[in-house]
Amino acid sequence: MWKRNIMNLFHLLKPKNCRYFSCASLQTKKYYLSNINLKFSHQHVFSAKKHETKNKVIENLNKSYLNTFTYRTHTCGELRSDHVGQKVTICGWVEFVRLSKFLLVRDSYGLTQCLINDSDINISDIPLETIVMINGTVALRPKGMYNTDMATGEIEVIIDKIDILNNVDKLPFNLRNYQKPKEQLRLQYRYIDLRFPKMQNNLRQRSLILHNMRKFLVEKHNFVEVETPTLFCRTPGGAREFIVPTHHPSLFYSLVQSPQQFKQMLMVGGIDRYFQIARCYRDEATRPDRQPEFTQLDIELSFTNLDGIVDMIEQLLQDSFPRDLPNSPFKRMTYKDALENYGTDKPNLTYEMKLKNVTSLFGHLKEPNLSAFTLPYSRKLGKLSTKYKNKINDLGKKYSVKIALNDNILKLIGDDIHNQIKCINGEENDNILAIGDRENACLCLGDIRELLAPLLKSKNLLLFKNSVEPLWVVDFPLFVKGENGLESCHHPFTAPHPEDLHLLDSDPLKVRSLAYDIVLNGNEIGGGSVRIHNPELQEKILQMLNIDSSNLHHFINALKSGCPPHAGIALGIDRLIAIACKAESIRDVIAFPKSHEGKDPLSGAPNEVNDEDKKYYHIKSI
């Protein structure tokens, strides 16, 4: 049995050396295909519009560079009337078979129609997605048969020889855009899903954007890309880090959540213009839309400040981002303004609809820490459905904020203040009122803003811009109140704002930091800060955060070794590329993403490990 199969496989291994089967011999190979499901064939009359790869990245490629180092002479997307008469070799998947005579061959670059003139060849049994190599001659299609929907629609290839390079089993789904499978199935069979033009476009676009970023940094600004370790010691005060057991009993590496310490140590070491497109790890399996490993563009500079970093990122994006951006400088907003106007630290500026602070109307509010904010929206929307009302009330509970909608506002606060609110927000608007802790009231209305905006948009009551709207958010607080005392708002290495240093002991929650975020259309796509370069200040901040600095001994020592002032930033590449590609999810711009809870639908990882391996690593599962 095996012997026969292997003899049959012989020709598949090394085209140069192999005895290809000629067209005439194809029929004798039918047994190859006998067990293969033919369900795709002949179901639909071929329509190039439905099938062809529409791929901007590929359309812009220099075609002559696509066939180096391979035995095809052309891709399936490049033959034109100029090629008529040429002998060509094309390779790809069988996209469609028509009238037992026309074979459409597809690769990632396009579609070519091949024509069988030799009546001995039977192609009607070839399953779709079989891998073939066609040797043939380019010919003009008969007049009137040009297919203007196809880039190669002027020509066809008259087949001299067809070789089946590999067979195909029944596929779990069809490669047709109008029959797109659900995401779980796509992820399980990612190696097939990647053939969809959209995925081809996304991965190719990603590669080009990252390449352009590197060119900007290396060629235009002399940055140095340095690869830093991912197996390291735990960095206190951040996200949960994966641990990696070693063959040293009880000793573990941690997978780095970012190259933060390394990039700062590089500044100490004189690599004063550093970047890295870095793999980072965070164990946030329980958060939706997060990947346990992700990519960030990590940058750090010595002898710079906030304006230097902002300027660099704006130029970098202008240079490498494929969608239109406004001119520099991008808008800048303080954290306080973002919170009080948009109820979030990452405002989506593609639509208006701002919160209004109406606390001053409530002179009689007895609790001095209470604030009142309203969110006005077009009265034309009419009464909200119960579904929306419930969601809004749930948000009120989540943030411990008193919420009142339209009619209830009157009941809650009386005619006088209600009228003043109407006067402030305009008679054409309905209002939602939130009373509570200032931050919570704003955050709650921010969430409600994001809930109502799509509803308003769907009724043409709110204008959404189609553009990319970047925004810098600055002047974040240095600390936030955590369960066990102060926590870093950004991270423990962020410098306090020099104007607020005098408050560090007396009122630390009022101290602003030199952190900054860049936001695109409501997505935080990057953040950074001026760092603390003074070891004594760094030690004090760690102490205030109640962080045990024993794992940071080397880092403090580095600050004591002649550390230049420095600042940096990290951009979240997955999200940025998703916006560039107008993808719905970051999973659509990652070749092999995990699904929920960090599981890999493709391989089934994570998996059980045998006892021998666990013993080697001196661990036991409990």
- Per-residue x/- track, 508-527, a copy of itself (CB under 8 A): ------x-------------
Residue 552 Cβ vs a copy of itself, minimum distance, rounded to whole Å: 9
Return phi, psi of residue 13, to 5°.
Answer: -85, -45
> Is 232 among the residues that bind a copy of itself (CB under 8 A)?
yes
Question: Toward a copy of itself, which CB reaches closer, 182 or 248?
Answer: 248
SS3 198: helix
Question: Toward a copy of itself, which CB reaches closer, 462 or 514?
Answer: 514
Return phi, psi of residue 569, to 5°.
Answer: -160, 160
Handedness of CA 431, 436, 442, 443 (dihedral sign): negative
Query: Radius of gyration of the chain from Cα atoms?
Result: 31
> Is 292 among the residues that bind a copy of itself (CB under 8 A)?
yes
> Is 576 among the residues that bind a copy of itself (CB under 8 A)?
no
Sequence-separated (6 or more) residues with CB below 8 Å from residue 253 = 231, 232, 233, 243, 244, 246
> Is 169 among the residues that bind a copy of itself (CB under 8 A)?
yes
| Binder among 495, 518, 576, 580 for a copy of itself (CB under 8 A) | 495
Under rule CB under 8 A, how many of the chain's residues touch a copy of itself?
164
Options 44-52, 178-186, 423-431, 551-559: segment touching a copy of itself (CB under 8 A):
551-559
Site for a copy of itself in 28-67 (CB under 8 A): 61-62, 65-66
Question: Toward a copy of itself, which CB reaches closer, 385 or 561?
Answer: 561
Residue 334 Rama label (left phi>0; alpha psi -120 to 50; beta): beta
Neighbours of 283 (CB within 10 A): 15
Buried b (16+ CB within 10 A) or exposed e, 236-258: bbeeebbeebeeeeeebbbbbbb
| Binder among 107, 156, 298, 300 for a copy of itself (CB under 8 A) | 107
Helix (H) or strand (E) holding 390: helix 386-399
| Binder among 245, 334, 354, 381 for a copy of itself (CB under 8 A) | 245
Assigned token pair, 131: 């891998």
Neighbours of 37 (CB within 10 A): 12
Residue 594 Cβ vs a copy of itself, minimum distance, rounded to whole Å: 8
Question: Toward a copy of itself, which CB reaches closer, 353 or 563?
Answer: 563
Residue 248 Cβ vs a copy of itself, minimum distance, rounded to whole Å: 6
User: In angstroms, rounded to a whole number, what is the distance separating the alpha carbons of residues 468 and 465?
Assistant: 8
Burial of residue 121 (CB within 10 Å: 0-12, 13-18, 19+) is buried
> Is 606 among the residues that bind a copy of itself (CB under 8 A)?
yes
Options 141-149, 355-363, 390-398, 555-563: segment touching a copy of itself (CB under 8 A):
555-563
Tell me which amino acid residue 410 is: L
User: In angstroms, rounded to a whole number, what is the distance separating the alpha carbons of residues 132 and 393?
Assistant: 60
| Binder among 115, 139, 158, 171 for a copy of itself (CB under 8 A) | 171
Site for a copy of itself in 258-287 (CB under 8 A): 262, 265-266, 268-273, 279, 281, 283, 285
> Is 596 among the residues that bind a copy of itself (CB under 8 A)?
no
Residue 482 Cβ vs a copy of itself, minimum distance, rounded to whole Å: 17
| Binder among 79, 104, 123, 133 for a copy of itself (CB under 8 A) | 133
Question: Toward a copy of itself, which CB reaches closer, 29 or 398?
Answer: 29
> Is 317 among the residues that bind a copy of itself (CB under 8 A)?
no
Reference 373, options 448, 462, 476, 481; nearest CA is 448
SS3 504: coil
Residue 59 Cβ vs a copy of itself, minimum distance, rounded to whole Å: 13
Site for a copy of itself in 185-224 (CB under 8 A): 189-195, 199-200, 203-204, 206-208, 210-211, 214-215, 218-222, 224
SS3 552: helix
